[in-house]
Structure 1
Amino acid sequence: MGAASVDPKPNPHATAEQVKAAYDDPKLANVLYHDWEAGTYDEKWSISYDERCITYATDRFRAVAGGVGPYGHALELGCGTGFFLLNLMQGGVIERGSVTDLSPGMVEVALRNAENLGLPVDGRVADAERIPYDDNTFDLVIGHAVLHHIPDVAAAMREVQRVLKPGGRFVFAGDPTDIGNFYARKLGQLTWWLTTNVTKLAPLTGWRRPQEELDESSRAAALEAVVDLHTFDPADLERTARGAGATEVRAVTEELSAALFGWPVRTFEAAVPRDKLGFGWAMFAYRTWQRLSWVDENVLAKVLPREVFYNVSVTGRKPVA
């Protein structure tokens, strides 16, 4: 399957007409939203390419796929800024990588991040439902928080099976469960309302972000509702993967108390001026999230059904013959 000779350019400043059209076109919405986010995405989600995120990425991968690897050539779908692939490469899980995303801006940033890290990565703008690579190309296909953005997840899974080598593995991590998405959204909405209203009080106006920034964040949040297309039941996600022809399919979930803490924290951070929250706050938030994740994995996961946790990850293989 041939790729287009020239990828489209990033468009971080969409027109009002383009944004209006995006409400009826989820793929266009994904391009516009993620092009707009590309330059600040790592900062927004506290993404780094050091030991903290290397450990996070490799732990997430091994939690669902086991301690296997390294994989020779991996493809990341919906790569964003390259968080998952680049940190797995640094963690020794992957030797060589390719990145794809609908958003030209995200592909551009991912490739720049790879170059800065000295990692062997190529990339192109591509639709996960029509992956522009030949059959039997990759040892591994991965994605992080991407399945919920893809209109036809079953079609994407079939494409994943096509481009995998026989015996190759896929790992998709970090997508929202049906129940987890419900409580995360409600907590985020409540935190946004409380923070933006409490900071109107005279003694706290210094903690209020400028109105134009709040308006921009609100517009982004509105478009985010268009790009987030799915939530998942773990068993249904397993059935979708098997229906695409995968074997050894397994879905696992994580984050309950960590999500109940993390979503209000991220929303609060988006609602106040960035210079108000320093390194001490960042370490408090991260360390607390770490401790709660330990509780989720070692205590709550042993007694609660997997459906109540926030994140779901799924893995499987392409049959050998």
Structure 2
Amino acid sequence: MSKSHPTAAEVEAARDDPKQANILYHDWEADTYDEKWSISYDERCVTYARDRFAHVAGTDGWPYRNALELGCGTGFFLLNLMQAGVIEKGYVTDISPGMVDVALRNAKQLGLDVSGRVSDAETIAYDDATFDLVVGHAMLHHIPDVEQALREVLRVLRPGGRFVFCGEPTKVGDWYARKLGQATWWATTNLTKLPGLTDWRRPQEELDESSQAAALEAVVDLHTFDPHALRRTAESAGAIDVEVATDELTAAFLGWPVRTFEAAVPKEKLGWGWARFAYTSWKALSAVDEKVLSRVVPKEFFYNVEITGVKP
């Protein structure tokens, strides 16, 4: 279901209404979100989702009988975890109707047993003690009241049920990611004005659209997290056995310029060779981050934070 772009007036009005901003932005991005963020439902992203889950929560309890993805987007985390054998039956919710539509469409194409509904994360539209597992990826930072959302997560979990949230930006990580992205966008859009490089420049209309999307994205990105403070928030919400982990340091130094460059040049200029370079380089740096740097660098300096906890 294609969504029209929000008007300038709608964007301006949404600046003071983060929930409406989230609906506008994610409805707008729904049909192109997987392409924009290089999301797939093959071995690459199945492995990524499984590894991120296991990194913070381990492998005990697999497969979970049923699981809810909160703030599902296009279903990236839940659908890939289902393909990895972590989850049997899946449910998806998002405040954006467009994202729920796309997530259910992706599930159908993959032949996965998934149902879903539109729901606010602060008032989850399911009964108490419904799920064995609640997951989310890069969604807590969009929610105005994170502690209230975690209270709701615990409400819909069965006793002993677990939540796992991954891909949340740390305070330090978000700072350097934004700086790298801004510098790459400026360099790419200016260098491609030069003679001999103009065929590497996207049409101005597309660049303007990307800039408008980025402006609205800044409105919906409400939080960055200190890993230890996020742990305390989950404990205050009532969770037990709370653990936090982090990942991506040098991998983020590569990943954010790569993603920004891809958004600034015509898609046909970047073929399989580029995709292979980007993925293998990111994978190699991620291994360095996990096996070496995680032992000596404080958690606060990594880009992503993951958190898990259990309902008493």
Native 8 Å contact 2:170 2:302 kept in 1: yes
Give the corresponding residue for 1:4.
none
Root-mean-square deviation over aligned CA pairs: 1.0
TM-score, with structure 1 as normaliser:
0.95
**Letter of the 2:79 counterpart:** L
Alignment of 1:166-185 (within 5 A): 166-185=159-178
TM-score, with structure 2 as normaliser:
0.98
- How many aligned residue pairs are there? 311
* Structure 1 position 10, deviation (Å): 7.4
Give the corresponding residue for 2:95.
102
Native 8 Å contact 1:12 1:105 kept in 2: no
* Structure 1 position 12, deviation (Å): 3.7
Native 8 Å contact 2:192 2:201 kept in 1: yes
Deviations 1:57-77 (A, max 9, x none): 000000000012110110000
Q: Does 1:249 align with 2:206?
A: no
Give the corresponding residue for 2:81.
88
Please give the alpha-carbon distance, in whole angstroms, between the structure 1 residues aligned to 2:205 and 2:34.
22
Secondary structure, aligned partner of 2:175: helix
Give the corresponding residue for 1:240.
233
Q: Does 1:274 align with 2:267?
A: yes
Native 8 Å contact 1:12 1:32 kept in 2: no
Native 8 Å contact 1:176 1:232 kept in 2: yes
**Letter of the 1:269 counterpart:** E
Which runs of no fewer than 5 residues in structure 1 stay unpaired? 1-8
Q: Does 1:206 align with 2:224?
A: no
Please give the alpha-carbon distance, in whole angstroms, between the structure 2 residues aligned to 1:14 and 1:201.
32
Q: Does 1:126 align with 2:119?
A: yes
Give the corresponding residue for 1:284.
277
| Match among 52, 55, 78 for residue 47 of structure 2 | 55
Please give the alpha-carbon distance, in whole angstroms, between the structure 2 residues aligned to 1:10 and 1:156.
29
| Match among 100, 107, 112 for residue 114 of structure 1 | 107
Secondary structure, aligned partner of 2:116: strand
Please give the alpha-carbon distance, in whole angstroms, between the structure 2 residues aligned to 1:75 and 1:41.
20
**Letter of the 1:122 counterpart:** S
Deviations 1:66-110 (A, max 9, x none): 012110110000100000000000100000011000111100000
State percent identity of aligned pairs: 72
Give the corresponding residue for 2:56.
64
Please give the alpha-carbon distance, in whole angstroms, between the structure 1 residues aligned to 2:261 and 2:287.
23
Please give the alpha-carbon distance, in whole angstroms, between the structure 2 residues aligned to 1:15 and 1:277.
31
Deviations 1:231-262 (A, max 9, x none): 00000000000001000000100000000000
Bigger mean CA offset, 247-256 vs 18-27: 18-27
Please give the alpha-carbon distance, in whole angstroms, between the structure 2 residues aligned to 1:12 and 1:141.
31
Which runs of no fewer than 5 residues in structure 2 stay unpaired? none
| Match among 133, 153, 161 for residue 154 of structure 2 | 161
Native 8 Å contact 1:12 1:37 kept in 2: no
Give the corresponding residue for 2:305.
312
Native 8 Å contact 1:10 1:104 kept in 2: no
Change (3 A) 1:10 1:25: farther
**Letter of the 2:27 counterpart:** D
Please give the alpha-carbon distance, in whole angstroms, between the structure 2 residues aligned to 1:115 and 1:265.
31
Deviations 1:133-170 (A, max 9, x none): 11100000000000000010010000001000000000
Please give the alpha-carbon distance, in whole angstroms, between the structure 2 residues aligned to 1:224 and 1:15.
14
Q: Does 1:222 align with 2:215?
A: yes
Secondary structure, aligned partner of 2:197: helix
Secondary structure, aligned partner of 1:171: strand
Deviations 1:260-315 (A, max 9, x none): 00000000110111111011100100000000000000010011111100000000
Please give the alpha-carbon distance, in whole angstroms, between the structure 2 residues aligned to 1:26 and 1:276.
36
**Letter of the 2:106 counterpart:** N
Native 8 Å contact 2:2 2:31 kept in 1: no
Native 8 Å contact 2:251 2:289 kept in 1: yes
